[in-house]
Amino acid sequence: MSTIHLAINAKPYTVDVDPQTSLLMVLREHLDLTGSKYGCGEGQCGACTVLIDGKAQRSCITRVGSVSGKKITTIEGLANGDRLHPVQQAFLDVGAMQCAYCTSGMIMSAVALLDRNPSPQPNEIVDFMDGNICRCGTYPRIVSAIQKAAKATRETAAAKGASR
């Protein structure tokens, strides 16, 4: 057992756990942040994806001891109050989900993608997202949602630039 300090969604947390424990287990069991999902436990399905210092990581194979002091963002921390993140809004608008169990991980991966590539081509989206599984098969809609979010983000940025 060790005392570990975590910065999740811009809030400080302290947990007493074995540093080898997975970040996913700490999020879900200790902090009741259940938006990140368990799907496979081996980094194969992407349902547990969170952002660590802005990069998409599989929290089920990330040891909690390795992320102390790093900036962690989960699906619960993505919206700004009532205002959804453009990727969340696009998933809603496009209806890019059926059971939606994969949705948190899909959205977090997509946020990381758009952060480094604001105008991804469909094949770039497919390449980047290939580690996230949707068993309901809503892949085409997820690609559309990511394209829509990218467009919305570019337009907002352009509007901001123009008003300056």
Site of interaction with other proteins (CB under 8 A): 18, 21, 25, 28-29, 32-42, 44-45, 47, 74-76, 78-79, 84, 88-89, 91-93, 95, 97-104, 107, 125-127, 129-130, 132-143
CA angle in degrees (0–180, nearest 5) for 87-42-117:
30
Backbone phi and psi for residue 8, each to the nearest 5 degrees, phi listed first = -120, 125
Backbone conformation region of residue 43, classed left if phi is above 0, alpha if psi is from -120 to 50, else beta: left
Is the CB of 6 or the CB of 103 nearer to other proteins? 103
Determine contact, residues 114/147, Cβ cutoff 8 Å: no
Q: How far is the CB of 49 from other proteins (least distance, A)?
A: 11
Q: Do the beta carbons of residue 58 and residue 109 sit within 8 Å?
A: no
In the bound complex, what is the minimum distance in angstroms from residue 130's beta carbon to other proteins?
5
Q: How far is the CB of 111 from other proteins (least distance, A)?
A: 12
- Rounded to a whole number of angstroms, the minimum distance from the CB of residue 162 to other proteins is 29
23 vs 35 by CB, closer to other proteins: 35
